[in-house]
C-alpha cells in the first residue's frame, strides 16, 4: 500500500480524535469519516482499525449511540482478525458507554470483564487504567461506594504511569461523585476548583461562577441536614 495513503489515514484519524472537545462535531466527524472511507478503499485493515478508533472518539454523544455501538463492534472484529489485542480492547470499551446509555448494563459489565482479561495479558498501563476507571464508574452508579472508593484509588495509581493530564480529571470527578454521595463535598472542592480554573469553558464565565455548583451543592446539603 502507498505509504502516503497509510500516513493520511492515521493523520486524519488522529486529528479527528484530538478535536473531540470542540463545541461543534462537524469538522472532526468529517475528518474521521474520511479516514475510515480511505482505509476501506485502500484495503488497509490495520489502518481501518486505527480509523474506526479515531472516528468513535470524534462522534460519540447521546445522538450517536447506535452508530458508536456498531463502530465498536466492527473495530473489535477487525482487531481480532489482525490479532491486535489492544484494538480489541478499544472496540469493547467503546461499546461500554453506549450500552450503559441504553441500560444494557449486564452487556457493559461483560465487555469490561473481557477487556480486563485482554488488558491483563498485555499489561499495558493505559488499558488497565481504562478498565479500572470504568469499573469505578459502574460501582458509583450502582451505589457500591466501598468498592468504588477502592477502584477509584486503584485507577489513580495506574494513571501515574499513563498521562496525568488526561487521567486526573477522571479521578477528581469520580472522587467528587463519591464525596457527594457521602455528604463530604468539602473534601474535594479545592481539587475541582483546580481543574476548572485553567479552562476557558464555552460559557466564558469566570471561575467563581463556573465552580459555584460545587459550593451550592455543599450548602444545600448542610441546609437539608439542619432541617
pLDDT digits (tens, 9 = 90+) for 20-40: 989 899 999 999 999 999 999
Task: Please report the domains of the chain, with CATH numbers, ordered by start residue.
Answer: 1-121 (1.25.40.10), 124-227 (no CATH)
Spell out the long-range contacts of 196-202 with Cβ–Cβ below 8 A and sequence spacing 24 or more. Answer: 202/23
How far is the C-alpha of 115 from the C-alpha of 89, rounded, in Å? 5
- Mean pLDDT across the stretch 138-164? 92
pLDDT digits (tens, 9 = 90+) for 174-207: 999 999 999 999 999 888 888 877 766 554 444 4
pLDDT band at residue 162 using 50, 70 and 90 as cut-offs: confident
The pLDDT score that the predictor gives to residue 211 is 46
Question: Which of 92 and 226 is assigned the larger pLDDT?
Answer: 92
Exposed e or buried b for every residue in 56-84, given b needs 16+ CB within 10 A?
A: bbbbbeeebbeebbebbebbbebbeeeeb
pTM of the predicted structure, to 2 decimals: 0.82
pLDDT digits (tens, 9 = 90+) for 98-132: 999 999 999 999 999 999 999 999 999 999 999 99
The pLDDT score that the predictor gives to residue 223 is 46
The pLDDT score that the predictor gives to residue 194 is 84
Closest listed residue to residue 202, CA positions, set 61, 22, 27:
22
Arithmetic mean of pLDDT over the chain: 88
Question: Is the pLDDT assigned to residue 220 strictly greater than 90?
Answer: no
pLDDT digits (tens, 9 = 90+) for 1-11: 577 999 999 99
The pLDDT score that the predictor gives to residue 101 is 95
Dig out the grid coordinates for 216 from the structure.
Answer: 451550592
Amino acid at each position: 500500500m502507498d505509504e502516503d495513503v497509510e500516513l493520511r489515514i492515521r493523520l486524519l484519524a488522529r486529528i479527528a480524535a484530538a478535536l473531540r472537545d470542540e463545541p461543534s462535531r462537524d469538522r472532526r466527524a468529517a475528518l474521521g469519516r474520511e479516514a475510515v472511507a480511505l482505509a476501506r478503499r485502500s484495503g488497509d485493515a490495520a489502518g481501518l482499525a486505527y480509523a474506526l478508533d479515531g472516528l468513535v472518539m470524534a462522534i460519540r454523544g447521546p445522538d450517536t449511540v447506535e452508530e458508536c455501538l456498531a463502530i465498536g463492534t466492527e473495530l473489535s472484529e477487525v482487531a481480532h482478525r489482525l490479532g491486535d489485542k489492544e484494538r480489541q480492547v478499544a472496540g469493547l470499551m467503546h461499546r461500554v458507554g453506549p450500552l450503559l446509555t441504553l441500560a444494557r448494563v449486564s452487556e457493559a459489565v461483560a465487555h469490561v470483564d473481557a477487556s480486563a482479561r485482554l488488558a491483563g495479558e498485555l499489561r499495558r498501563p493505559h488499558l488497565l487504567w481504562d478498565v479500572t476507571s470504568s469499573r469505578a464508574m459502574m460501582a458509583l452508579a450502582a451505589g457500591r461506594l466501598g468498592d468504588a472508593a477502592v477502584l477509584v484509588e486503584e485507577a489513580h495509581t495506574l494513571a501515574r504511569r499513563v498521562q496525568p493530564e488526561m487521567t486526573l480529571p477522571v479521578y477528581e470527578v469520580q472522587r467528587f461523585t463519591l464525596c457527594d454521595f457521602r455528604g463530604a463535598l468539602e473534601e474535594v472542592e479545592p481539587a475541582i476548583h483546580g481543574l476548572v480554573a485553567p479552562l476557558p469553558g464555552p460559557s466564558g464565565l469566570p471561575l467563581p461562577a463556573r465552580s459555584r455548583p460545587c459550593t451550592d451543592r455543599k450548602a444545600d446539603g448542610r441546609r437539608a441536614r439542619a432541617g
